[in-house]
Amino acid sequence: MQSKVNLFNRPLPTAEQDRRYQLNWGIVGALLTVIVLGICGYLFVFQPGTKEYSADFTEAQAVRSGVDVRVAGISVGSVSDVELLDDRVRVKFRVDKDVFLGDATTASMKMLTTVGGYYMALTPMGTADLGDKPIPPERVSMPYSLLETFQQATPKVQKIKATPVRETMSQLNEALEDQPESIRNTVTTFNRMFDNILRQQDQAGDFVKVMSEYSTTVNQNGDLLLSLMRNMSTFFAAAEVNLAGFKSYLTNTTQIVQRLAPVLNVYLNNVDPIASRFDALVAKARELVKQAEPAIANAKEMLAGLQKTIAPDGTLQLNDSEKTFLATNVCIPSPGVTC
């Protein structure tokens, strides 16, 4: 119990002890800071997990530190340093250790986009490791070289004869001065052509506007059109079933009359006129059935076309991914109806 009391009743440190205590913590903090900075510097300079290579360029207008390095279009590292030598530019770059670069590897600078940006493309070749040997300029290429352009253009420009060029320019100048009206007419023609193009664009816009209004109107009346289509579908579906039943009724009635005729031979003189009239009536009924069948078929085709263009909510649609369900889509097996 006495030891616990002594722990809480420790005397306050003197000024010298406090100064020494603060100094010790300052030294420890400084050492930790130096260690952290050393680790960060090591990671930044040596980049563990990567290996450094180099390549010699004849010029380096597109090479900068931090430029992406790729193999087969995949980023594997970046340019770490650009050093100017006597007759070349030494470019150092670091890539992942897993990437093998042989002693015949080639390097080329390529454009990322047409408006700017570059990256270094490596093509690993060879069996032995590239090691510390830089890739020579013979295996290094640039997207374009200003030095080569001027070197190749200078002798060709020197071969151009100035007198014919001067005479050609003089004749062109005289032709333009003598015929200013032709130039004015040409410009006027181009202006009219552009005016016609703009007018056609306005007409196309008006056509699209009219089609939009038509589509909006149709969609607004979609419920009415959908209701009408459903009623027509129900009517023609029922008509088709009733027509098939009527055909079956005519067939069965004809068979009954044919079976009763032999039994009523005694009354043939009286029955035959009735049978003849009945046959004539059946023939007319069959003719009406033949005329009704194509009409119903055409109506079903028309409804099928409407079904593809009208969605279940009454709006127009251009595909048949969501069809409207109609009564004509249902087939009920019955006498004379084949499903």
pLDDT tens digits, one per residue of 164-219: 777 777 777 776 666 666 666 666 776 677 676 667 656 656 665 766 676 666 66
8-state DSSP, 317: -
The Cα 46–Cα 40 span in angstroms is 10
pLDDT of residue 183: 63
What three-state secondary structure class fits 161?
coil
> What b-and-e string marks burial along 147-166, b requiring 16 or more CB atoms within 10 Å of the CB?
eeeeeeeeeeeeeeeeeeee
Residue position matching structure tokens 């597109």: 62
What three-state secondary structure class fits 266?
helix
The Cα 327–Cα 229 span in angstroms is 10
Q: Percentage helix, strand, coil, to 5, in the chain?
A: 60, 15, 25
pLDDT of residue 203: 66
**Contact call for residues 90 and 136 (beta carbons, < 8 A):** no
The Cα 18–Cα 76 span in angstroms is 54
Q: Please report the beta strands in the chain, taking only residues with DSSP state E, as ranges in sequence order.
A: 50-57, 68-71, 74-84, 89-96, 106-113, 116-123, 140-141
Instruction: Please name the amino acid found at residue 249.
Output: Y
Q: Is the pLDDT of residue 229 over 60?
A: yes
Q: What percent of the chain has pLDDT over 70?
A: 48
Which tokens go with 207?
């056509």
pLDDT of residue 135: 92
| pLDDT tens digits along 76-103 | 999 988 988 888 899 999 999 888 999 9
Residue position matching structure tokens 């008509």: 239
- Confidence label for 259 from pLDDT (cuts 50, 70 and 90): low
DSSP string covering 119-136, please? Answer: EEEEE---SSB-TTPPBP
Cβ-Cβ contacts under 8 Å for 311 (sequence gap 6 or more): 222, 317, 322, 324
C-alpha distance from residue 274 to each of 236, 248, 263, 271, 320 (Å): 34, 21, 15, 5, 55
Q: What does the pLDDT average to over 105-120? A: 83
pLDDT of residue 91: 92
The Cα 86–Cα 56 span in angstroms is 11
Average pLDDT, the chain: 72
| pLDDT tens digits along 113-167 | 766 678 999 999 998 988 889 999 999 988 766 666 667 777 777 777 777 777 7
Residue 263: its H or E element: helix 222-263
Q: Where are the domains of the chain?
A: 1-46, 50-144, 161-216, 221-329
Whether this model's pTM surpasses 0.75 = no
Cα-Cα end-to-end distance for the chain: 103
pLDDT of residue 179: 64
Residue 216: its H or E element: helix 180-220
